Structure 1
Amino acid sequence: MTTTTIRVIECTSPDELYRQYSGQSEPQPCYIELDLREGVLLASYNAEIGNAVPFSVHYGFDRRYDIPLLHAEAANQALRDVTPLADRILADWEQVWDGNNLVARLGKDAQAAEEELDALLEDRFAESDQVTVWDVDSATNGCEADEYSITAETTDDRLDEIEEQIRQDLAGVSGSGSSVVVLEGVNDYLRRLRDGLGEDDA
């Protein structure tokens, strides 16, 4: 069972690969995935906490290749770079019965292409290709009310503008050169700060 027509789905949001679930200390790991049955190549994050993977991955129909937490531009460039190798994999696989389940089996050229794909992705990404994540404790200093003139009447739109200003400031000092910064919990912090000022005035 083979296909030679690959469809690449590129990332559209700069921080699309970022996802951190409540209670987790780190963002979810990311990967490039090749869906052998649908002929689709994309970048995504693991929606499962821990090491769990879907049956489609376990049985080899969806091939996953680890990548760092990349911003969209870097992820899309990686997708373009591996597309010729993904084409070779798609052209050389079959569905077989292993005695218990239907699984995907790669041919010799597909195996070679997959090894080349892994090697191409290994250690190729600079820090500037990756999303920088700041948690609320690192991104704020406790003086935001004075610095940004936050009062009990400050609107949500203004708080969003302040969050964006903090994001831009941190992008300039992150040290990684990345233009994409995620602020974890800062928006909620600013709203709690504003709401707390309203309670003090009551």
Structure 2
Amino acid sequence: MTVTTVQLSYCVNTEELYRHYDQQAEPQPVFVELDLEDGVLYASYDPEVGNARPAEVGNGRTRRYCLTGKDYSGERVIPTAEGANRLLERIAPLAQRVLDGASIEWNGHNRVGVLDEDAQDAEETIKALVEDADLGEDGAIELWDMDSIGEAWTAEEAGITARTSDEELERIEARLLEEFRADQEQPTAVIRGLGEHLRAVRDELNGPVDVFWSVVRGAQPVAAVRPEQAGVSVPEHVRVWAAGHGVTGKESDPVLVVAPQEDAEDLPGEVAWEVGVLDRDEAERVAVLLAAH
């Protein structure tokens, strides 16, 4: 028999058992495991997609008990840290019976876990407790989708800029989730896809910026800048188009100017205009010059 005492390994973070991989319809299953060799009893999510199991589970040296409960909407129930810890404490006396009646034996091919009759009875009780576990108040994650929370956060509301780092995004995600939990009075809420949404917001800020290229006569308008003033490269097709409207590239009339499409104004002396894009750095240099006008 194994000679050891159950060692509880508690969960710490509210949503640590929640993992939802890309391209998967549901979050990863959650299980409770008991290691017959060191006596550690703990809860974890399954890191594998599909039915793969580690050798120690397949050989019974580690006993795995899967949570199979569903919520009112048919979603897989994911325990919070508090709910999982309650379950571990409820299981612990039964897990001790399993350990007391367990041995590790060589079967001619592998070292396998073997249970005596009382240990088997205790294990069956554990399975019944775990399969549709009573996790108690605030014991399960409340899952929300981005499309179910109402209007999503904009870059300004979230405090995201084009220069926001991945580490800063993680802190912003944590802050927004805490604010959402407080607003909804759901301390165990998790918003599926929130991190992806925030990264998309940041990436959009780093994407190309829509602009208007314009040919103007007379004084340079204050709502646009000449590309050479901002160090902006002019695409060849825009050069050809501008030349067709009399722009020679010299200090002469008319001239080529550029301005962001957002908050664009009618330009005095405009002869023609064309839509285009600038990369983010070029657009920011244009914006700096416009702000100084």
Which TM bucket (shorter chain)? 0.7 to 0.9
Distance 1:122 1:70, change over 3 A: same
Match of 2:112, SS state, is: strand
Rounded Cα–Cα distance in structure 1 between residues aligned with 2:148 and 2:174: 14
Which structure would you say has the larger RCO, counting Cα contacts within 8 Å and 6 or more residues apart? 1
Letter in 2 for 1:18: Y
Rounded Cα–Cα distance in structure 1 between residues aligned with 2:50 and 2:173: 34
Match of 2:154, SS state, is: helix
Q: Which residue matches 1:81?
A: 90
Flag the structure with larger Rg. 2
Q: Is the Cα–Cα contact under 8 Å of residues 87 and 135 in structure 2 kept in the other structure?
A: no
What is the count of residue pairs matched by the alignment?
A: 198
Which residues in structure 2 correspond to 1:170-185 (within 5 Å)?
Answer: 173=184, 179-185=187-193
**Shift in Å at residue 129 of structure 1?**
1.7
> Does residue 125 of structure 1 match 2:147?
no
**Shift in Å at residue 9 of structure 1?**
0.7
> TM-score under structure 2 normalisation?
0.58
The worse-fitting range, judged by mean Cα deviation, of 72-81 and 60-69 is 60-69
Q: CA-atom RMSD, angstroms?
A: 3.0
Rounded Cα–Cα distance in structure 2 between residues aligned with 1:125 and 1:147: 38
Q: Which residue matches 2:42?
A: 42
The worse-fitting range, judged by mean Cα deviation, of 1-10 and 73-82 is 1-10
Rounded Cα–Cα distance in structure 2 between residues aligned with 1:109 and 1:159: 48
Distance 1:121 1:172, change over 3 A: farther
Distance 1:163 1:47, change over 3 A: closer
Rounded Cα–Cα distance in structure 1 between residues aligned with 2:180 and 2:160: 22
Q: Is the Cα–Cα contact under 8 Å of residues 31 and 45 in structure 2 kept in the other structure?
A: yes
Q: Which residue matches 1:18?
A: 18
Match of 1:148, SS state, is: helix
Match of 2:8, SS state, is: strand
Higher helix proportion (structure 1 or 2): 1
Rounded Cα–Cα distance in structure 1 between residues aligned with 2:114 and 2:45: 24
